[in-house]
């Protein structure tokens, strides 16, 4: 998952970004003013936008309005130091999905961020199951047939994203787009490495294959009646 944090207070932006990276395993981009925030939000595919209200160059509410006007459906979490009810109501009515008042609890921010991402993907359950594979979004654990599976963080992120896309075929480009932040050089074969790692840990000890490769198209996480045909 990839998150954009738009916050002009550099230290706070850094802390929020670090929290999301370490606590939720998200790829995080940071924008320090409204203008670059809107530009980044519109030019990349994000799974969540964390938005401060008092921003230089372009105020948070304006950014939100333009973002929604251009048709983006990504959940937006507002960070505000002013908790007057009227502006909060206006923001929620204007397309925001949730808000947090400063100073906030980092744990709460992470929980809300995860919940917003989950709902944004149409997954209200905190545990997502594909066949006998269980992915717990909250504490980022994976079980296959009831047994815990140890994944490196990047493997988990690939699996989580595949699961969030609901059995659809996810291209390598989409995975790269959603799993790496702005500062990474994106190499397609990195994804192949993680997919093969995931296969080993999830599929090798089981009769049913869940991770499928569709050559030239991408990957899918699903239970298929005839697994052999797509191999």
Partner 1 sequence: MKNSLRKQIIVSVLVSQLLLAIGLTLAIVLYSRAQLRSDFNIMLEGRVNTVLAVIHDAEDVSKTLVVEPKRLNIPARDLVEVWDENGSLIWRSPNWNGAPAAVVAGNASTFELDREHGPYRGVVVHKATIFDEEDNPANPLRKVTIVYAASTRELDRRILKIGTLATGASLLLLCLAGLFASYGVSKGLSPMQELAKAAADVSIRNWSFNPPQEARTKRELSPLVDALEVTIASLQRAFDRERESTADAAHELKTAVAILKSSLQLLIYQPRSIDDYQKGLAHALEDCDRLEALVCGTLSVARAQRWAEEGKSDDIQCIDVVNSCEQSVADLHALAQSRSVELRCLANNADECVVRASPADLQTVWVNLLQNAIQHSPPGSTVSLRVSASHPDNALIAVEDAGTGIPAEHLPHVFERFHRGDPSRSRATGGFGLGLSICRAIVEAYDGRIEIKTTDGAGTRVFVSLPTLTKVSS
Stretches 53-61, 130-138, 199-207, 208-216: which one binds partner 1 (CB under 8 A)?
Answer: 53-61
Per-residue binding string, partner 1, 161-200, x by CB under 8 A, is ----------------------------------------
104 is a contact residue toward partner 1 (CB under 8 A): yes
Select from 66, 68, 72, 102 the one that contacts partner 1 (CB under 8 A).
102
Name which of residues 70 to 99 contact partner 1 (CB under 8 A): 81-82
Distance CA 29, CA 178 (A): 11
18 is a contact residue toward partner 1 (CB under 8 A): yes
Question: Residue 187: CB partners within 8 Å, gap ≥ 6?
Answer: none
123 is a contact residue toward partner 1 (CB under 8 A): no
Measured from the CB atom, the residue of 23 and 95 that comes closer to partner 1 is: 23
Measured from the CB atom, the residue of 73 and 105 that comes closer to partner 1 is: 105
Q: Quick count: other Cβ atoms within 10 Å of Cβ 133?
A: 22
Strands 48-52 and 2-6: parallel
9 is a contact residue toward partner 1 (CB under 8 A): yes
Select from 3, 19, 26, 99 the one that contacts partner 1 (CB under 8 A).
19
CA angle, 61 as apex, 79 and 27 as ends, to 5°? 50
- Say if residues 181 and 29 touch (Cβ distance below 8 Å): yes
Distance CA 10, CA 31 (A): 9
């Amino acid at each position: 998952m990839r998150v954009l944090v738009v916050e002009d207070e550099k230290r706070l932006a850094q802390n929020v970004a670090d929290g999301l990276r370490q606590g939720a395993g998200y790829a995080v981009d940071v924008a320090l003013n409204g203008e670059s925030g809107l530009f980044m939000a519109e030019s990349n595919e994000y799974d969540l936008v964390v938005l401060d209200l008092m921003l230089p160059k372009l105020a948070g509410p304006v950014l939100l309005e333009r973002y929604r006007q251009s048709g983006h459906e990504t959940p937006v979490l507002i960070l505000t130091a002013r908790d007057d009810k009227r502006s909060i109501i206006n923001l929620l009515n204007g397309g925001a999905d949730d808000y947090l008042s400063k100073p906030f609890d980092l744990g709460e921010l992470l929980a809300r961020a995860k919940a917003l991402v989950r709902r944004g993907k149409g997954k209200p359950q905190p545990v997502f199951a594909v066949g006998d594979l269980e992915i717990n979004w909250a504490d980022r654990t994976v079980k296959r047939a009831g047994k815990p599976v140890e994944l490196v963080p990047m493997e988990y992120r690939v699996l989580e994203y595949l699961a969030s896309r609901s059995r659809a075929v996810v291209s390598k480009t989409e995975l790269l787009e959603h799993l790496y932040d702005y500062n990474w050089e994106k190499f397609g074969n990195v994804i192949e490495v993680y997919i093969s790692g995931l296969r080993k840990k999830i599929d090798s000890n089981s009769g049913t294959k869940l991770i499928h490769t569709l050559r030239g198209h991408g990957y899918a996480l699903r239970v298929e009646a005839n697994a052999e045909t797509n191999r």
